[in-house]
Amino acid sequence: MGSFLEKLKLKARQHPAFFCFYVSIFLNFMVEILSRKSLLESLVFLVMRPHVFLYNAFIIYWCFSLLLLVRRKLFLGTVIGIIWLILGFVNLVLLGFRVTPFNGADLRLTKDAMTIAGKYLTWWHLVLLAVGVVALLAALVVLFRKLPKWPRKPSYMKGLVFVVFSFLALLGLSSVGMRTGILANQFGNLAQAYLDYGFPFCFSNSLMNTGISKPEDYSVETVQEIKEEGILPEEHGWAPLISEERPTIVDELGVAVTKQTPNIIFLQLESFSDPMKYLHMTCSEDPIPNFRKLMEKYSSGYLRVPSVGAGTANTEFEVITGMNLDFFGPGEYPYKTVLQKQVCESLCFDLKEIGYHAQAIHNNSGTFYDRYTVFSQLGFDTFTSLEYMSGYDTTYMGWPKDKTLKGQITKVMKSTSGADFIYTISVQGHGSYPEEKVLDAPAVTVSGLPTEEETNAMEYYVHQVHEMDEFVGELVAYLENCGEETILVMYGDHLPSLELTEEKLENKDVFQTEYVIWNNMGLEKSDRDLEAYQLGAYVLEHAGIKKGTMFRYHQAWLQDVFHTEEEEQEYLNNMKILEYDILYGEQDVFEGQMPYEATELYMGVQPIVISQVLTQNEGLYVVGWNYTPNSVVYINGEPCSTNVVSTNMLYCEEAPLEEENNEITICQVSEDNIVLSVSEAYVLKK
């Protein structure tokens, strides 16, 4: 060890700049091997795109320029090298679960990732990870002590000038590369971009590039022109897709109108797709017979979504807002960036203007993707998350099953007297998919896969999809007989993380899932493939509603089936201008002022009530309504260890009561210990 360190120290002293450059090339090559999972493909990248490879190495080389500012150059250089290798290794691990590479947006999802780590990693994985972290920290401590300081004090001014100059040079190279087409600033397919442009560039870009860049032709005049020529005028009450069989009424202008405003329910099915369209395997029977029958009878088609294997919130964002994520930063989650503070026009706001109630349901934690705060920026009135549900079954991997959503949708519909817009997000189909056999008698078996592990994982997934399809059938049966006109939109948010490729799919596109628009209104069947950001506009068209900036913009486009390349490019350019104006610009489309305000989001639809508090020895019984496994008794603002006896009773074995009045409340607390709501207080006199 000592002789190696001495040689390293000697080479670094003799030729520090060249030494760091060689190390940068080596690190870049190692990171690319991890990113591509192949030595051969990394060599091909080096040979076929040497200029891009060297540019990526220069990004790493700039990191080493920071050594000019410290005396412990060898130690800092080692840390920088380890960080890049860790980034490459994390990317390798994530690519085992999804298609989307590791990017800057993932760093904003650290808290969410920790909450579901147990669903993907076994206990020994977590132990091994902890041991690895401890070993790495111990090694760094040893290196900090062993590696010598640089003999001369650094010239901080010269070093800082070089760091800044090299960074500006790096930005200049990036600008030239983007203008010449060697590099790209927008990544329509993030996974492919990492292969085309290298991990260091794409990862760095995703860290720095967020939001929507200002379009060159953005101006109040341009926005006004788009409004006048590209956005349909607002209308509500006429329904061009009503079939001849459906009874209609006619207004004084002779226009057919609906008898009542229909409920509009979106059901976003986690990782839902049609396994019968997987060409590399065979199912013993149709796993989704209900969904297939609906597609044959009602409007349906392929839905192009923004991600593969993960990214539920981004499909959700496109559908709810009508905005195209291609214009945002690489891999960005708007829920974690702009929507943390900015209100955004949405289906919720637009439909509430014509009397709808906007409500969300999700059988997973309300804190995931910060929905418990973001949904207020999107205009939802209520949000029923898992913390407000009880009596649900779970999958082998611990995800709540979707059949509980039928009861939740029923509760929401009964909680209002008017029309409902309900956005429901399912979770049962979520990964990971165990490679060991965990199902004794699956309803549908699969064959044709090369290994037993792949067969087990696929069979587990198909089983979940089959149960989700049964839930779809039950929900449709309920809605058919509920006595209210309803449009139900169902679709998969993305394909599962099962290493599906274009060659394995009938439609040859890993970014497509299926959708269907069921209704009990006799609407005409109209099949069409759509982008996720167009789905809301298409559904509103079915309902005879023309509301909302982005939705009326898409409706104008969807009036024609065939478009030229020039028309499509203009459509995309104007779409970017509208999105920028609404979220980052002067909001000229709203005459310079955002007309919407964030809502006071109410968690759940049934109030959590305390009717009586009883003391017994040192313990405490709380009696009331609508308690769930996430209900926690708080006494004078402090949580107590709570046992859920039933939906009507909670018990605290030890209750630290004060001599005088005690304020008792029930808080709904998430797994990550965030209080989502607090009941009205009950004052107990000891």
pLDDT band per the 50, 70, 90 thresholds, residue 434: very high
Segment 128-155, tens digit of pLDDT? 777 878 888 888 888 778 787 777 787 8
Higher pLDDT, 21 or 340: 340
Q: Which residues pair with 602 in a beta bridge?
A: 382
Segment 554-595, tens digit of pLDDT? 999 999 988 999 999 999 999 999 999 999 999 999 999 999
Which tokens go with 7? 């040689």
- Say if CB 379 and CB 660 are below 8 A apart: no
Segment 231-245, tens digit of pLDDT? 988 876 544 444 444
Residue type, 249: I
Antiparallel, parallel or unpaired: β 682-685 and 661-669: antiparallel
Higher pLDDT, 91 or 458: 458
Mean pLDDT of 431-444: 91
- Examine the pLDDT at 250 and tell me if it is beyond 70: no
Coil, helix or strand for 587? coil
pLDDT at 242: 43
Mean pLDDT of 376-382: 97
pLDDT band per the 50, 70, 90 thresholds, residue 252: very low
Coil, helix or strand for 472? helix
- Examine the pLDDT at 455 and tell me if it is beyond 60: yes
Which tokens go with 653? 């074995």
pLDDT at 452: 94
pLDDT at 278: 96
Give the separation between CA 371 and CA 385, rounded to whole angstroms. Answer: 9
Of 94-98, 231-235, 441-445, the one with minimum mean pLDDT is: 94-98
DSSP notation for 28-85: HHHHHHHHHT-HHHHHHHHHH-HHHHHHHHHHHHHHHGGGGG-S-HHHHHHHHHHHHH
pTM of the shown model: 0.85
- Examine the pLDDT at 102 and tell me if it is beyond 90: no
Give the chain's mean pLDDT: 88
- Examine the pLDDT at 614 and tell me if it is beyond 60: yes
Q: What are the φ/ψ torsions at residue 617 (nearest 5 degrees)?
A: 55, -120
pLDDT > 70: percent of the chain = 90
Segment 521-557, tens digit of pLDDT? 999 999 999 999 999 999 999 999 999 999 999 999 9
DSSP notation for 609-632: EEEEEEEETTEEEEEEE---TTEE
Number of helices (H), then strands (E), in the chain? 21, 24
- Examine the pLDDT at 612 and tell me if it is beyond 50: yes
Segment 301-336, tens digit of pLDDT? 999 999 888 889 999 999 999 999 999 988 889 999
Place of tokens 């500006």: 168
pLDDT band per the 50, 70, 90 thresholds, residue 110: low
pLDDT at 639: 94
pLDDT at 568: 95
pLDDT at 400: 96
- Examine the pLDDT at 406 and tell me if it is beyond 50: yes
pLDDT at 430: 92
b/e 647-660 (16+ beta carbons within 10 angstroms → b): eeebbbeebebeee
**Strand ranges in 147-273 using DSSP code E only, listed in sequence order:** 235-236, 249-250, 256-257, 263-269
- Examine the pLDDT at 403 and tell me if it is beyond 80: yes
N residues, the chain: 686
Other Cβ atoms closer than 10 A to 230: 18
